[in-house]
């Protein structure tokens, strides 16, 4: 399903506002990365101007800077062991709230945040809802050393795709690694198994699969509605 | 068991020489890291001076430089998908040839090499033979971002230890990550399970466990003997 970009912006704003309304005083909040997360940050800045007291950490410098510019105090991720609430988008989410993330290239840091959070609210428009994960592709972060050997192993196991590029150069994550975007298989019938197999390959840091992370999902629809879906 | 350092040097030299004798013309050879691997490199340089034609890759710049200085041609690891033979040491090895490596801090690169190799010969003196893995500790490479949260998760699961330091600074691997040295549990009764559990933690890149990697093991004894042990 396609939604025109103006409408999509409205949906993202509504999602961001709704998610920001769930943040409470004194929380350490994890900020995701991407255009939907940005709308959340903007709404959060508004709430902080009205008196909300929180501190934030983030999976990207971009989101952190945005928050800081808006006057939200930053916490030091080096000393944080638990985050109260993380709000982030997703590239695909299935009926079991299993997700694929990593389109923005920050999957490892996003997973560190999500897995350290007491609550994770995922905000997506309805185009991200899928019955089976895979159409988006699966981003996999790999160590740059020996990347050809690592990709060779992925392909031997049936996972084909390509190294992500940016401006004709290999894309490097904030952790200094590469992203291999798996394009085949087109759909993952047993994503937990695929995750296990892929992560066992030496040189693989992590995959874009997120399981058992979302505690609730806010879905924005083309008709303007925002609905809450609880994790099963 | 303790072996005095002069004797240990003799054992390492004997091991290096024996391993080098197994290298054949035309091979791409993987060089490990550490004092035993250094003895192998020295013997390999001798063989190359006598006419052996090979190319080498390595898990460390140090070993590569040593080989290059000795006149051995280097291959570019960026384009290598298969290595013919890797020779490396180990910190501990059990009767099933399961190993703990990473004392030198290069475990991720060592595992990429070992897993890309048709053959891996492990060279150890008899002090490295153990019935159960663990006394050495288990090095785990973790992403620097959010390291306190990652260590918190390790400890929650019963894996205690400390971040490796070098000259009062946190030690950084060639991949830009940290090493957490697990000291407790003292012994791993089911290392495969521990490996699975630890690797599932977001932020963990890899562990120092090496399973099903060694195709043969050369053991050097205090009495001067070198014995070959095949993988089961």
Residue A230's pLDDT is 77
Q: How far is B103 from chain A (nearest CA, A)?
A: 18
Chain B interface, mutation test: which of A146, A150, A203, most B Cβ atoms within 10 Å? A146
Specify the pLDDT at position A231.
66
| The pLDDT value given to residue A232 | 57
What are the residue numbers of the active site of A?
110
Chain-chain contact of B145 with A176 (C-beta, under 8 angstroms): no
pLDDT value at position A154? 98
pLDDT at residue number B1: 62
Q: At how many degrees (to 10) do helices A5-20 and A35-49 cross?
A: 40
Provide the shortest C-alpha distance from residue B109 to chain A (in Å): 7
Q: Chain B closest CA to A27's CA: distance in Å? A: 17
What value does the CA radius of gyration of chain A take, rounded to a whole number of Å? 18
The CA distance from B112 to the nearest CA of chain A, in Å, is 5
- Looking at residue A5, its pLDDT comes to 83
Could A143 and B116 be called an inter-chain contact, meaning their C-beta atoms sit closer than 8 Å?
A: no
| Owner of token pair 């929180």 | A54
pLDDT tens profile A123-167: 999 999 999 999 999 999 999 999 999 999 999 999 999 999 999
For chain A, the straight-line distance linking the first and the last C-alpha, in angstroms and rounded, comes to: 25
B106-119 pLDDT tens trace: 999 999 999 999 99
The two structure tokens encoding residue B44:
């390999």
Query: Closest residue of B to A156, CA-based?
Result: B81
Q: What is the pLDDT of residue B6?
A: 86
Task: Find the helix packing angle between B35-49 and B5-20, rounded to 10°.
Answer: 40
Active-site option among B42, B68, B110, B141:
B110
Residues of B in contact with A143 (CB under 8 A): 108-109, 112, 175, 205
**Strand, coil or helix: B49:** helix
Name the phi and psi angles at A157, rounded to 5: -90, 5
- Percentage of residues in chain A with pLDDT exceeding 90? 93
A-chain residue closest to B155, CA distance: A81
Beta carbon pairs, A and B, within 8 Å: 108
Compute the mean pLDDT over every residue in chain B, rounded to the nearest whole number.
95
Is B147–A115 a contact, with Cβ atoms under 8 angstroms apart? no
The residues of chain B scoring below 70 in pLDDT are 1, 231-232
Cβ contact (<8 Å) for B153 and A116? yes
For residue B205, the chain A residues in CB contact (below 8 A) are 143, 205
- Say what the pLDDT of residue A45 is: 98
Record: contact A112-B143, CB cut-off 8 A: yes
Provide DSSP, A157-181. Answer: TT-EEEE-EETTEE-B-TTS-EEEE
Contact B146 A206 (CB under 8 A): no
What is the secondary structure of B136-192 as a DSSP string? T-EEEEE-STTHHHHHHHHHHTT-EEEE-EETTEE-B-TTS-EEEEEEESSS-SSHH
A156/chain B closest Cα distance in angstroms: 11
Residues A176, B174: C-beta atoms closer than 8 Å: no
Output the average pLDDT for chain A: 95
Give the one of B114, B150, B175 whose C-beta lies nearest to A143's C-beta: B175
- Local confidence band at A4 (pLDDT 50, 70, 90 cut-offs): confident
Within 8 A of A205 by CB-CB distance, chain B residues are: 143, 205
Average pLDDT over residues A225-229: 94
pLDDT, tens digit, 9 for 90 and up, residues A191-224: 999 999 999 999 999 999 999 999 999 999 999 8
Q: Where in chain B does DSSP place strands (E)?
A: 28-31, 55-58, 83-88, 92-93, 99-100, 117-125, 138-142, 160-163, 165-166, 169-170, 178-184, 204-207, 209-210, 216-220, 226-230
pLDDT of A3 > 90? The answer is no
What pLDDT score does B129 carry? Answer: 96
CB contact under 8 A, B153 and A114: no
d(CA A115, CA A119): 9
pLDDT in tens, A36-46: 999 999 999 99
Band (pLDDT 50/70/90 cuts) for residue A1 is low
């Amino acid at each position: 399903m396609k939604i025109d970009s103006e409408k999509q912006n409205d949906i993202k704003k509504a999602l961001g506002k709704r998610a920001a309304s769930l943040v409470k005083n004194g929380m350490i909040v994890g900020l995701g990365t991407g255009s939907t997360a940005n709308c959340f940050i903007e709404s959060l800045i508004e709430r902080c101007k009205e008196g909300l007291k929180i501190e934030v950490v983030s999976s990207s410098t971009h989101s952190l800077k945005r928050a800081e510019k808006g006057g939200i105090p930053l916490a030091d991720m080096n000393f944080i062991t638990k985050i109260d609430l993380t709000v982030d988008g997703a590239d695909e989410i299935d009926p079991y709230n299993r997700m694929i993330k990593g389109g923005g290239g920050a999957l490892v840091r996003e997973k560190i945040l999500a897995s350290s959070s007491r609550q994770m609210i995922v905000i997506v428009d309805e185009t991200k809802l899928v019955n089976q994960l895979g159409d988006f592709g699966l981003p996999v972060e790999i160590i740059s050393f020996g990347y050809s050997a690592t990709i060779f192993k992925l392909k031997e196991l049936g996972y084909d795709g390509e190294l992500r590029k940016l401006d004709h150069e290999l894309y490097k994550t904030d952790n200094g690694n590469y992203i291999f975007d798996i394009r085949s298989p087109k759909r993952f019938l047993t994503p937990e198994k695929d995750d296990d197999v892929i992560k066992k390959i030496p040189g693989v840091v992590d995959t874009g699969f997120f399981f058992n992370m979302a505690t609730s999902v806010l879905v924005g629809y083309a008709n303007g509605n925002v609905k809450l879906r609880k994790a099963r």
